[in-house]
Amino acid sequence: MQFGGRKKKSSTIPQSELYGQHLQFYGQPPLENISLSEFETFAVERLKLLKTVENLGVSHVKLTDQYRRKLESQLKALNFPYRPDADDKKSQSGPIEYEKRRKDHISHFILRLAYCQTEDLRRWFIQQEVDLFRFHFTELVPKQQLAFLHKNNLHYDTISSEEKTALKDQLINSSFGISGIKVMEHEFYKVPFQDALDLVRLRKVYLKQGYAYIPHQDIVTIVLNDFRTRLSKALALTARSLPAVHSDERLQPLLNHLSHAYVGQDYSIQKNVGKISLDQIDSLSGKSFPLCMRQLHQSLRENHHLRHGGRMQYGLFLKGIGLSLEQALQFWKMEFIRGKVDADKFDKAYAYSIRHMFGKEGKRTDYTPYSCMKVILSNPPSQGDHHGCPFRHSDPELLKQKLQVYKVSPSGINQILELVKGMHYQLACQKYFELTHNIEDSSFSLNHPNQYFLESQKLLGGGKDIKREMDAPQRSQENSASKGSTGTQEVAANTSQHLAEMTEDLESFFQEA
Q: β-pairing, 206-208 with 157-158? A: unpaired
Q: If we measure between CA atoms, which residue out of 247, 267, 253 comes closest to residue 493?
A: 253
Q: If we measure between CA atoms, which residue out of 192, 182, 181, 186 comes closest to residue 218?
A: 186
- Kindly tell me the number of DSSP H helices and DSSP E strands found in the chain: 27, 4
Q: How far is CA 192 from CA 206, 209, 224, in A?
A: 12, 9, 15
Note whether 28 and 151 are within 8 A (CB). Answer: no
Residue 188, φ and ψ in degrees, nearest 5: -120, 135
Q: How far is CA 68 from CA 131, 135, 450, 451, in A?
A: 12, 8, 32, 29
Q: If we measure between CA atoms, which residue out of 510, 504, 41, 512 comes closest to residue 264?
A: 504
- In order, the DSSP letters of 59-80 are HS-TTSHHHHHHHHHHHHHTT-
| 372 annotated binding-site participant | yes
Q: Order of strands, edge to edge, in the sheet holding 157-158?
A: 157-158, 188-192, 211-215, 206-208
| 116 annotated binding-site participant | no
**Alpha helices (H) along 288-424:** 291-303, 308-321, 325-336, 343-349, 351-357, 372-377, 390-393, 396-405, 410-421
- Kindly give, in sequence order, each residue whose CB lies less than 8 Å from that of residue 215, ignoring residues fewer than 6 positions away: 171, 175, 178, 186, 187, 188
Note whether 332 and 304 are within 8 A (CB). Answer: no
Residue type at 475 in one-letter notation = R
Helix axes 486-503 and 36-59, enclosed angle (nearest 10) = 30
Q: State the CB neighbour count (10 A cutoff) for residue 25.
A: 17
* Residue ranges of the binding site: 292, 372, 389, 429
Annotated binding site for [4Fe-4S] cluster: which residue ranges? 292, 372, 389, 429
